[in-house]
Structure 1
Amino acid sequence: MRLIASSLERSTPGLLAALPPPDWSILAAGAVVFGVQRLVPDFDPTWYQQLKKPDWTPPDWVFPTVWIPLKIAQSYALWVVCKKARSREDLMLPLSLFGTHLFLGNWWNVVFFGRHQLRPSLKWMAAFWASIAGTAAAFYPIHPLAGVLMVPTLIWSTIAAKLNYDIVKLNDTSASPKEAK
């Protein structure tokens, strides 16, 4: 890398000096967003595959394909808010809501996939959705782009909430033994 930078600097003197210094804090924002997801244990996928699902259910490969860019957008939004906030006090509500949304998204996975509690998962999904909306609203005054970057997650979570609701309706008569406890 240093060799490339040296040859680049020789061919265009002053170019590297004109570039802004790297801001490694964006990596920290990404580590938070992607790292929190790793706290959720892996679950047996066979249970989900056996559930009755609506005809419009996306194929399994769609979920990580959608969530990865959403997590990147969330990471960038978090980074922008942390950089642009005027004070630590201005960060308290946005970061609290952002952390709540990360927690609730993971907790929904535990309730739905881990505990197989379909009906209770609807309440957690609603709280998750509200926390994303709250995060977008709290991010927007600090930096409008950060608020807007949360909107695709809100849209995808709306689709996930509808899927969650439909799965509950289709499987309501066959509540799992875990849910009865």
Structure 2
Amino acid sequence: MPKWQDPADHGHGLLAALPRPDWQLLAAGAVVFGLQRLVPAYEDSYKNWYPKLRKPSWNPPNWMFPAVWIPLKVMQSAALWLIWKSAPANGRMSVALPIGVFLTHALLGNQWNVAFFGQHDMKGSLKWMGAFWVSIAATIASFHAVDPVAAYLMIPTQVWVTVAAKLNWDIVQLNTSGKDM
């Protein structure tokens, strides 16, 4: 048996050189990616309804959405982890507000998906997008008070959601008549 596989080898070899997993970081990732799974897939909307909508000339290609959202979710996971780690072990209530604001932003993002892709309520989705945008700004502010790095990790999400909000607005404008607005 190679030395790195020897279970009796305490503190030596390849396994000892690897960093120990941080279960709290993994849990933060599970929360961030898990909350997103609360929203149904809406495959039919992605394949049939959305492609038929009129979109602005600057509309990003479909592959760009997961290519951007996955790294953003990783950064959100790291930000949530930093906030959780900043609280003393016996004083987790000190981060309850920032974590609550973070969870609110995640749930509002999910609700936008339900309104836009699930219900095809383009006009109504603008309200959810606005609340989502504000909740990300509130998350950044509440995180900054605890750990500025965590706040900085959320800024790219704010930027991307600003782009998404403009896209949402433009799609509504292109696909509804003036009397619908």
1:27-67 deviation digits (Å, cap 9, x = unpaired): 11000100111111111121111100000000000000100
Aligned to 2:150: 146
Residue 34 of structure 1 aligns with which residue? 33
Aligned in 2, Cα 1:54/1:80: closer, same or farther, shift over 3 Å?
A: same
Contact 2:4 2:13 in 1 (8 A): no
Could you say which residue in structure 1 is the equivalent of 2:108? 104
Over 3 Å counting, the alpha-carbon distance change for 1:41 and 1:85 in structure 2 is same
The DSSP-based 3-state class of the residue aligned with 2:39 is coil
Q: Aligned in 2, Cα 1:19/1:41: closer, same or farther, shift over 3 Å?
A: closer
Root-mean-square deviation (Å): 2.6
Gaps of 5+ in 1: none
Summarize deviations over 1:117-157 as a string: whole Å, max 9, x none.
11111110010011111111111121111000000000000
TM-score scaled by length of structure 1: 0.86
Number of the residue aligned with 1:70: 72
The residue correspondences of 1:4-153 to structure 2 (distance < 5 A) are: 4=4, 6=6, 13=12, 21-43=20-42, 44=44, 45=46, 46-86=48-88, 87-153=91-157
Give the letter aligned to residue 36 of structure 1: L
| CA distance in 1: counterparts of 2:74 and 2:84, whole angstroms | 15
Tell me: CA distance 1:120–1:15, structure 2 relative to 1, closer, same or farther (3 Å): same
Distance 2:5 2:75 in 1: 29
Q: For 1:156, what is the secondary structure of its paired residue? A: helix
Structure 2 gap ranges (5+): none
Paired with 1:170 and 1:66, the residues of 2 have a C-alpha distance of 24
SS in 2 for 1:31: helix
Q: C-alpha distance in 1, partners of 2:59/2:5?
A: 48
For residue 90 of structure 1, report the CA deviation from its aligned partner: 1.8
Deviation larger for 12-21 or 65-74 = 12-21
Q: 1:17 offset after TM fit, Å? A: 6.2
Structure 2 length-normalised TM: 0.86
Letter in 1 for 2:94: D
Equivalent position SS for 2:103: helix
